[in-house]
Amino acid sequence: MAQVISTQTKTFKFTDEFSPSSTSHYLSTITVKELEYEDGNHYWDIGYVNKFIPGTIDSQEVIKKLKKTAHPFNGSQIQDFMGYEGDILFKNPMTTIMVNYLLMDYEQLALVSGVTTSQRYKQSIMWSLCNFWD
């Protein structure tokens, strides 16, 4: 049985960066819980809820394409990324820094992400974190 130590929730907008004129996007709510188990070990429970907003597009074919290309886990190694809901991973100094960056607003993240976009940097963090599931 785990005890919840803290919970943080943030929502971010994800777009298809190769379709800049599109108003379609995902609102991705990221919830991070720090858990402590009976053995004293701490874990991050990271959950994702992705809601597609079609914008002003009427074409079902275009909407279907954008639903895939704008998804924050499109391009990741996750086979069924449309249904991906998150993972639990061991808390250590590296995963803690990654979680802190994951929850940064885009403007703040832009100050530390180099030349890549804040959205792409956040996606890279999300994709990396799913490799550390425990």
Residue range 88-97, pLDDT digits in tens: 999 999 999 9
Relative to beta strand 86-90, strand 25-37 is: unpaired
**pTM, rounded to two decimals:** 0.92
- For the four alpha carbons of 128, 34, 50 and 85, in that order, the dihedral sign comes to positive
* Tokens (6 digits) for 26: 């995902």
How far apart (Å, rounded) are the C-alpha atoms in residues 54 and 56? 6
pLDDT reading at 107 higher than 80? yes
How far apart (Å, rounded) are the C-alpha atoms in residues 13 and 28? 6
The pLDDT, as a whole number, for residue 122 is 98
Domain boundaries, the chain: 2-132
Mean pLDDT of the chain: 94
